[in-house]
Chains A and B, each alone.
Chain A
């Protein structure tokens, strides 16, 4: 570095070089814009898990909402009681109309069912406002 001794203090004030700082700031700006649009936001769904135990499932007196993700004629579907739904929206609509939401909803997934559908069923139960969602594996009889 050249610390010029012969310069007067008044001259030094003028010598503020902003170029490098602006360069870095723009570089950072571009970096954050690019990365922000490429990183998807991850969130989470909290569930209670319980192994498939028929005795525990039968123990409650009231009738909980049980959504089973099982194989139907054409692929997989959501089964709620005797009704079968093929998409998340229909399932959610019926779950919203469900009378008793104080007990947790139960989602059961068959081994072969795609996980995407299981998580969709869990999300539907959460959206419907159930007091907790429980997941149980669905063991084939």
Chain B
């Protein structure tokens, strides 16, 4: 590349406007995307297991933290709220419980009482399949 010729004649003027444009655009893009994708994922210590399949889109993600509190989409819920949510999701998929893909993200230190109660509750809705989230060890 011939870069030296013009440098002698003009003062080097660098136009950084496009760069700033692009950087800000990317910044906004990533901030938005990460917020959306993390909206229904709480910071939890998931069990360190190899797992069986890769995760894909689930209809409902239920997070259970170490003391056993449940959150759905960043909102704390109790068992009655969860029943309403599951009923609403069931309505959306046309009343077929097999179409429901429920992902349970549960802290590895939590007591199994929470999942046992969930199972009892799912029984009322005839939900027979549940996905458990695990974290692959690095």
Contacts and interface: CB of A to CB of B under 8 A. Distances in A.
Q: A and B from one assembly?
A: yes
B134 A42 contact: yes
Interface stretch (A9-17, A78-86, A94-102): A9-17
Interface of B: 1-3, 5-6, 14-16, 18-19, 22-23, 26, 30, 46-47, 49-55, 64, 103, 105-116, 119-120, 122-123, 127-136, 138
Contacts of A23: 19
Given A47-B130, A49-B130, A14 B6 contact: yes
B14 A40 contact: no
9 contacts: A20-B18, A42-B135, A43-B50, A44-B52, A51-B120, A51-B123, A115-B114, A116-B109, A137-B120
A114 B112 contact: yes
A47 B134 contact: no
A47 B109 CA distance: 20
A122 to B, nearest CB: 7
B132 A44 contact: yes
Interface in A90-139: 109-116, 118-120, 122-123, 126-127, 135-138
A137 to B, nearest CB: 3
A140 B99 CA distance: 32
Q: State the majority secondary structure of interface residues on A.
A: mixed
Scoring B47, B110, B130 by chain A CB atoms within 10 A of each residue's CB, the highest score goes to: B47
Nearest to B51: A43
Contacts of A112: 111-113
Interface residues of A, number: 45
Contacts of B14: 17, 19
Nearest to A137: B116
A46 B87 CA distance: 21
A135 B34 CA distance: 33
A31 interface: yes
A24 B5 CA distance: 27
B108 to A, nearest CB: 3
B130 A114 contact: no
B129 A47 contact: yes
A64 to B, nearest CB: 17
A67 interface: no
B6 A11 contact: yes
Interface string A10-52: 0100111101110110011001000000001111111111110
A45 B134 contact: yes
Nearest to B116: A137
In the A-B complex, the 4 residue pairs with the closest CB atoms: A43-B51, A116-B108, A137-B116, A20-B19
B133 to A, nearest CB: 5
